[in-house]
Structure 1
Amino acid sequence: MVEKEVVYVVSDSVGETAEFVVKAVATQFNGGQVEIRRNSYVDDFEDIEDVILLAKKGRSIIAYTIVIPSLKDYLDRRANEENILAVDLLSPLMSAFETSFNKQAHHRPGLMRKMDEEYFRKIEAIEFAVKYDDGRDPRGIVKADIVLVGVSRTSKTPLSMYLAHKRFKVANVPLVPEVPPPDELFEIPRKNCIGLIISPDKLNEIRKERLKALGLASQASYASFGRILEELDHAEKVMKRLGCPIIDVSNKAVEETAGLILDVLKKERS
C-alpha cells in the first residue's frame, strides 16, 4: 500500500492563500492527488508542535504563510530538527519588496482581512467553529464568543456553524456522564455559555434515526431511554453548576434556536 502524501498548510491567519498555492502546484502532478490539511490561526508554539508531530509520521511537506518572526523561526528550526521539509511561501516575495521598494514589512498576521473585514470575520469564525467543534480542544472555550453545551444530538455543531456565519466564534462541548466537563467551562463568564436541553422523547427519536442512518440497530444503548435520561440528568446538573442560560431545542429549527441564543446573549450582556 502506497503511503499517503500530505501537505500541511500552516498559517497564522486563515490560510486560504497558502492552500490555493499548494493546490495550484499539486495540479501539476497528475491532477494533484496529494492530501491538503489546513491548520489556521496558528498563534503559539504548541500549535506548531501539533503539526510537527503529525508531519513526521509520514510522507509530508509543510507549506506555511507565517509572518510572526518568532513563530516562523520556531517552525523552521523544529522542521529542520525533525527532517521535515518546510516551505515558506511568503518570505522570498516579502524580501523582494523590502529590497526593491525599500520598505519594511509589518509582520502582523491578518492584515489582508482589512480589505474585506466582514467577509474575513466570517471565515475566521467558521474556521474557529471547525477547530473547536465537539470539545476536541478545550483551549477554544476561553477564546470563544459563545460556548454551547449539551448532550449528543442537540444541534450543537449545526448551531455553531450557523452562528459562525454571523461572525460569532463558537465552541461546543458535549456533556457525557463518563467524561468530566473541562475546567475551562468554569473559568468563563456565565454570559458566554448557553446550555441546550431537549425532551427525552424527541432525543430518542433523533438518536434512532441517527443509528438507522449509520446502519446500526435502533436498540443500541445510545438511543435507549435509560441512557438518555442519565445523560440529560447529568447535563442538567452541569448546567446548574455553570449557572448558564438554558434553551430547549425540542422541535425547533436551527435558525429558530440561533435566534433565541442571540436574544438571550443580548439580554445577558446588556
Structure 2
Amino acid sequence: MSQKQDHVTVYVLSDSVGETAELVVKAAISQFDEAKTTIRRIPYVEDTGTVDEVIAEAKDNKGMIAFTVVLPEIRNYIITRAREEALPIYDILSPLLTIMEDRLQEPPKNESGLIHTLDEDYFRKVEAIEFAVKYDDGRDPRGIMRADVVLVGVSRTSKTPLSQYLAHKRLKVANVPLVPEVEPPEELFSISSDRVIGLKISPEKLNGIRTERLKALGLKAEANYATMQRIEEELVYSEQTMKRLGCRVIDVSAKAVEETANIIFQLVQSEQEEKS
C-alpha cells in the first residue's frame, strides 16, 4: 500500500492535444478533494526525450502518470520507464483498443490525433468561436456586417451562451444588447433582417434571472437593474427596436439555450438551402 500524500500531481501525456486523457482524469479527481490534486497536461508527446523529462519530474514530485498514446513505441517506452522508476501509471486507451481489436478482428490504425484532424471544418469551428468572443455584447459593431447571425435583446436573454453554442455549429455570431439609453449601432439597420434574431423574455422570468445574478455578485436584489419597472421599460424598448429591424423574434422565457440555438440553426440552414 502506497504512502499517504497531501498533494498529488497527475501528469497527463498524449501524442495529440490530450483533451480525452485530461477529461478522464478530471472525472476521477472530482470524486476526491480537488484541492489536493494538480493536472499537468503534456500534449504532442512524440519522442522518448519528452517522456524522460516528464518521468524525472513526476519522480521528484511523487506524482502519477495517465496517458492516451496510440504510437506503440512511445506507449511502450512510457510504460517501461514508469515501471523502472516505480511510478503509478494508467493507460487510458489500450484496454479499450484491445477489446475492440478482438471484437472487430482488425488492428487499430495507431495514428495519433485522428479525433482532431485539422481539416477545413475544424478551422471553421475555431474561427467561429473566436468571432463570437470578439464580437460579444456589441463590443465592435463591425462584426455585425460579417456575422452569419446577429442576436439582439435585453441583458440576460442568453445572447452570449447562444453565440458560443452556435459557434460550435460553425456559425459566426455577433450579439448586441438593447438598452433604452443607447441607440443601436447603425450597422444593425443596414444588413438583411433575415440575419437578425430578436430574443424576448417575460418580465417575471427576467426579474428572477436578474435577481439571482445580483445575489451572485453580492449586490442588493432591489437594485434598479432587477426592478419590474426597469425591466418593463427595457422590454418595451426592445420590442420597439425589433419591430424597427423587422427581424424574427424568439421567446426564450421557457426555452433552454440548446433549444433556442437549435431553432436558430435550423432557420439559418433553411435559408441557406433556399438560396442554393
If the length of structure 1 is used for normalisation, what is the TM-score? 0.57
Give the corresponding residue for 2:232: 229
What's the % identity of the aligned pairs?
A: 70
Letter of the structure 1 residue corresponding to residue 219 of structure 2: L
Q: Is the 8 A contact 1:160 1:171 kept in 2?
A: yes
Among 228, 241, 244, the alignment partner of 2:247 is: 244
Task: Structure 2 unaligned segments of length 5 or more: list them.
Answer: 1-116
Q: Which residue of 2 aligns with 1:36?
A: none
Q: Which amino acid aligns with 1:232?
A: L
Query: Does 1:255 pair with 2:258?
Result: yes
Question: 1: CA distance between counterparts of 2:127 and 2:118?
Answer: 14
Kept in 2, the 8 Å contact 1:154–1:197? The answer is: yes
RMSD: 1.6
Measure the CA separation in 1 of the matches of 2:156 and 2:138: 14
Alignment deviations for residues 105-135 of structure 1 (CA, whole Å, 9 cap, x no partner): xxxxxxxxx9511111110000000000000
SS of residue in 2 equivalent to 1:185: helix
Alignment deviations for residues 187-230 of structure 1 (CA, whole Å, 9 cap, x no partner) = 11111000000000000000000000000000000000000000
Gaps of 5+ in 1: 1-113
- 1:234, 1:142 → 2: CA distance? 23
Q: Deviations over 1:134-153 (max 9, x none)?
A: 00000000000000000000
The size of the alignment, in residue pairs, is 158
Distance 1:247 1:121 in 2: 26
Secondary structure, aligned partner of 1:195: strand
Letter matched to residue 240 of structure 2: K
Candidates 195, 198, 206, aligned match of 1:195? 198
Distance of 1:248 and 1:198 partners within structure 2? 6
Q: Which residue, 149, 159, 164 being the options, matches 1:161?
A: 164
Pairing 1:133–2:125 present: no
Counterpart Cα distance in 2 of 1:225 and 1:267 = 37
Q: Please, which of 161, 169, 173 is the counterpart of residue 170 of structure 1? A: 173
Distance 1:125 1:161 in 2: 8
Equivalent residue letter for 2:172: K
Aligned with 2:119: secondary structure?
A: helix
Contact 1:245 1:264 in 2 (8 A): no
User: Match of 2:250, SS?
Assistant: strand
Give the partner amino acid of 2:157: T
CA deviation string 1:59-93 (max 9, x = no partner): xxxxxxxxxxxxxxxxxxxxxxxxxxxxxxxxxxx
Deviation at 1:261, TM superposition (A): 1.1
CA shift for structure 1 position 264: 2.9
Does the CA contact (< 8 Å) of 1:153 and 1:203 recur in 2? yes
SS at match of 1:128: helix
Q: Which moved more, 1:115-124 or 1:258-267?
A: 258-267
**Match of 1:246, SS?**
strand
Q: Which amino acid aligns with 2:205?
A: K
Larger Rg: 2
Residue aligned with 1:153, SS? coil
Q: Provide the residue aligned with 1:51 in structure 2.
A: none
- Tell me the distance in 2 between the aligned counterparts of 1:268 and 1:177: 31
> Helix, strand or coil: the match of 1:166?
coil
**What is the TM-score with the length of structure 2 in the denominator?**
0.56
Q: Deviations over 1:144-187 (max 9, x none)?
A: 00000000000000000000001100000000000000000001
CA distance, structure 2, for counterparts of residue 229 and residue 198 of structure 1: 11
Q: Distance in 2 between matches of 1:261 and 1:116?
A: 25
